[in-house]
Amino acid sequence: MFGAANQERSEYAMQALHSFALEEKSNIVPGPVPYVANHAGHVNTTAPTAYARGGLPPRVVRRVCEHIDHNVEQRISVEALAKLANLSVCYFVRAFKQSLGVTPHDYLIRRRVERTMELLSGTDMSLSEIALAAGFADQSHCARRFRQYVGMSPRDYRWSRP
């Protein structure tokens, strides 16, 4: 009896979280782990998860996320990000996930999808040019990740925008 009630409450909490994210007009469909970023995609370091025990200090999170944002179109390795944070790769990945709720690779892919959305809305570039400008290896990889996070193809997204 108590198990069913707790499961109902946790499902209700997840529904509330998803509806809150959708009300905020988030560009990315929320996944199973909360994504701590504002509308511009910048990390909200005042969120409670940013101060989780064992996570990264806010200044390190800000430095790493700014590096990703400024170099999103380039190849960025986890090793380079860990070096930027002055940590081992294993510890960095664990601390980053604890701080932001997503792995560094997932954060990078999400930022690339957001960049793709900006380019689709604001330019007349071809989809293959946009994929390369956003840092994806090719158009196919871009479309696959875009569909995974946004729920529609890049072409459909471009034509759905006013």
* pLDDT tens digit sequence for 122-151: 889 999 999 999 999 999 999 999 999 999
Tell me how many domains the chain contains: 2
Do both 82 and 123 map to the same domain? no
Q: What is the pLDDT of residues 48-105, one digit of tens each?
A: 444 446 789 999 999 999 999 999 999 999 999 999 999 999 999 999 999 999 999 9
Q: What is the pLDDT of residue 161?
A: 76
Q: What is the pTM of this model?
A: 0.67
Q: Which of 53, 73, 102 is where one domain is finished?
A: 102
Mean pLDDT estimate for the chain: 77
Do both 130 and 95 map to the same domain? no
| 126 within domain boundaries | yes
| 1 within domain boundaries | no
Q: What is the pLDDT of residue 54?
A: 72
What would the 3-class secondary structure string for the chain be? Answer: CHHHHHHHHHHHHHHHHHHHHHHCCCCCCCCCCCCCECCCCCECCCCHHHHCCCCCCHHHHHHHHHHHHHCCCCCCCHHHHHHHHCCCHHHHHHHHHHHHCCCHHHHHHHHHHHHHHHHHHHCCCCHHHHHHHCCCCCHHHHHHHHHHHHCCCHHHHHHHCC
Q: What percent of the chain has pLDDT over 70?
A: 67
Do both 128 and 153 map to the same domain? yes
